[in-house]
Amino acid sequence: MRLAISALLLGTTLVAGPAAWAETTYNVSKITITGNKSVPTDQLMAVVTEQPGTKVTVDQIIADQNAITKVLENAHVTGGVKTSVKTVGSKAEIIFAIDDQGIAAPVVTHVAPKLDTQVFEGNNLLSSDTLAAATGLKPGQDLTNDEIVAAQQAIVAAYKATKKPIGVNISAENKRLDGGKYDIIWHITETKAKKKRSTDDEGQKLDE
């Protein structure tokens, strides 16, 4: 929820038209910030450019109102800011009245991580291109834990499909990049499967 910004309110009646009103200058005697509860006054006053004893225009006052509003927005304060100019003779008091309705919890937007590339390490029997195709993962797609697990199972299946006496151990490492992208680094350990002892061999040993 954004803070509402009220139009500048003047304590005097202006006869001139809008253009002349915008060019009006004020001799600042005092600057007051009221109504703030969630953000300390000194933090708000720090972004105000005009100072007592200086001359300011309406545009400069509005710019300071916007700067105060930005500080409140960054602190997730809801409400509004109303600025008025109270004139006494040639002097003017600038009043920033804040309608502080408290701090709202910031809205957090969760963005699904996206795949950049797949890197395969330790694979000798099957090429990286073959394994990348087997996972079914495409650059730019959203990644979920289920998809990564399914890709790992697909790599195991690709090895089994070769019908070679090779065992395989696979782990995945996610490397975070800029822009919410990730590289998946597949660490593969290939091992020769142990040859099963035949029953004939066992029988011969027993006979011996």
At 136-175, the pLDDT tens digits run 999 999 988 889 999 999 999 999 999 998 888 999 998 9
- Whether residue 144 is contained in a domain is answered as yes
Same-domain pairing of 84 and 120: no
Whether this model's pTM surpasses 0.85: no
Cα distances (Å, whole numbers) of residue 65 to 70, 126, 136, 159: 9, 65, 54, 66
CA nearest neighbour of 33 among 73, 3, 56, 67: 67
Chain CA centroid to CA 127, Å: 37
Q: In this predicted structure, what is the pLDDT of residue 204?
A: 42
Cα end-to-end distance, the chain, whole Å:
88
Q: CA 122, 124, 130, 135 torsion: positive or negative? A: negative
pLDDT of residue 198: 52
Provide Rg for the chain, Cα atoms. 35
Which residues have CB under 8 Å from 114's CB, separation 6+?
A: 140, 141, 142, 143, 180, 181, 182
Residues spanned by the domain of 147 = 114-192
Q: 136 and 87 share a domain?
A: no
Cα pseudo-dihedral 43, 47, 48, 54, rounded to 10: 120
Which residue is listed with tokens 């782990």?
171
Per-residue confidence band for 12, with pLDDT thresholds at 50, 70 and 90: very low
Last residue in a domain, options 80, 103, 126: 103
Q: At what angle do helices 128-135 and 145-161 cross, to 10 degrees?
A: 130
- Please tell me the total count of domains within the chain: 2
Same domain for 119 and 97: no
Mean pLDDT of the chain: 82
- 81 in any annotated domain: yes
In this structure, the answer to whether residues 65 and 34 fall within a common structural domain is: yes
HSE of 66 in the Cβ direction (CA atoms, 13 Å)? Answer: 6
| Residue 95 φ/ψ, nearest 5 degrees | -120, 120
